[in-house]
Structure 1
């Protein structure tokens, strides 16, 4: 899935008539719940006629309003998909997931799918969002805190460990309840929390993002095309594709995005990062770690 229904509606706003744009804005304002309202209710909220709502759905490329609602149901199903459900629907059980009906193995199963996902991630990357993330992570006055999920904590550690080599004030949100509560309670305007949240989304990530914003801090969210609920409280959202040739989402595109981010942070910090790296290596040598 390359985009959400909301993305499609935004992209097509220029193709709609003024009355149809009113309908589109009502749909976007309460998305996704608004899409499941009745045609009459949406028409009333948009101050247009019911036929205008139907024409809007048609102009967006759907056969009718029920067809548009069905597209959103499919999107919501995708957002909550698990490896089990993806396995059951992908053809993995009969060996056809990789496109080989006989179940035989290719030279590099899934490599083309992942390469396309990486390329698509960078092609659809919003330049402004990327540069804003770099600016936040390069600001020496800010404290950076990272947190991930079931699998994505590995990505949070990968990014965090690199940032630690480039600058001061980088840490991971503690796993322990008491320690995490203490860390979050102390956050302020100088803090940036970088969190990773991919389907199936974790409620605590949204709560963390909300707390950070309430305390005046900044939030950077790495997520998939369906968007973690935490993005509602984010200052920066970096999305990456997760398409793979197995029931498991691929995090390779996210890793590639992280490495691009690390390179840009290093460039922005320049000589300061170089000095920090040298000081770190000197300390490591004195400790016998290198």
Structure 2
């Protein structure tokens, strides 16, 4: 079983920004603003759009470790193919690899490799910045997840809502999304979870939120959601699995780590809130055994 790709092209491009000349940074920004479509055009057309020379494209490709533009473009083409894979295609691919090892052992190895690759690529300064944002109780937080990632959004919402006020979740009905976006403003935070096959409406949602002054935090896969071009902060996790669907375990790890950090940062002020919540649980007998509600 091959090890998952460690970094998407878009993530590699972001990480290399400091190495680039001004014209190369201009080219990189053009690629990221319309990724991956911009990179799938001819080098002449890309140079024209970015306002740089074609030799600049070749130099940047070589700085990223490619032989030239053609090799760099082929990586982008492969990523597009990976992004749009349907469940049946992924199942057939994994089944064709074959293995005598038990599924539990194969899955354990893959999840471990995913987690290691995710941690190797994780920018700790991004983690700290997002933890600080989520710990700022003057900022409202709106959280949304897609068909598969909604459980992650639920988990983050449930814990943040215990620790601090001003946390809400975008509902599943698209008709109500404008209501949720209406309350966003300067200083608000929109947290989106989006992995392949990406939510087609999320880029527009992110754009609308940004126009209202919100900061966008994105949790995505190693290939990168189209929302990446709008996001202020991006967490990219390796998600490949042995099934027809991607694994969200590495994303859950990042969510749990953020919850732990926010809890540590807010504990001096959130302790009272947590205690009040526990008192309500006891009063209602939510968890059983601790309250006599006068029943027979």
TM-score (ref. length: structure 1): 0.84
User: Offset of 1:24 from its aligned partner?
Assistant: 7.4
Correspondence for 1:117 among 109, 114, 119: 114
- How has the CA–CA distance of structure 1 residues 174 and 15 changed in structure 2, closer, same or farther, with 3 Å as cutoff? closer
Aligned length: 278
1:1-290 superposed matches below 5 A? 1-9=5-13, 22=23, 25-26=26-27, 28-30=29-31, 31-41=35-45, 45-47=51-53, 57=61, 60-90=64-94, 92=95, 94=96, 96=98, 100=99, 103=100, 105=102, 108-290=105-287
Kindly provide the CA deviation profile for residues 46-78 of structure 1, in whole angstroms up to 9, marking residues without a partner as x: 3366xx755765665445543332221101111
- How has the CA–CA distance of structure 1 residues 9 and 269 changed in structure 2, closer, same or farther, with 3 Å as cutoff? closer
Distance 2:104 2:179 in 1: 50
Distance 1:194 1:13 in 2: 25
Distance 2:166 2:146 in 1: 22
Conserved 8 A contact 1:166-1:277: yes
Conserved 8 A contact 1:144-1:169: yes
Q: Report the RMSD for the aligned CA atoms in angstroms.
A: 2.7
- How has the CA–CA distance of structure 1 residues 287 and 250 changed in structure 2, closer, same or farther, with 3 Å as cutoff? same
User: Offset of 1:153 from its aligned partner?
Assistant: 0.5
Structure 2 residue ranges without an equivalent (≥5): 288-296
Kindly provide the CA deviation profile for residues 229-278 of structure 1, in whole angstroms up to 9, marking residues without a partner as x: 11222222111111223332110001111111000001100221211111
Distance 2:120 2:233 in 1: 17
User: Offset of 1:113 from its aligned partner?
Assistant: 1.0
Structure 1 segments of 4+ aligned residues over 6 angstroms from their partners: 12-16
Of 35-44 and 250-259, the range deviating more from structure 2? 35-44
Distance 1:95 1:37 in 2: 33
Kindly provide the CA deviation profile for residues 70-120 of structure 1, in whole angstroms up to 9, marking residues without a partner as x: 221101111222222222323x1x561xxx2xx452663310110121122
Conserved 8 A contact 1:209-1:233: yes
Structure 1 residue ranges without an equivalent (≥5): none
- How has the CA–CA distance of structure 1 residues 88 and 168 changed in structure 2, closer, same or farther, with 3 Å as cutoff? same
User: Offset of 1:163 from its aligned partner?
Assistant: 1.0
Conserved 8 A contact 2:191-2:217: yes
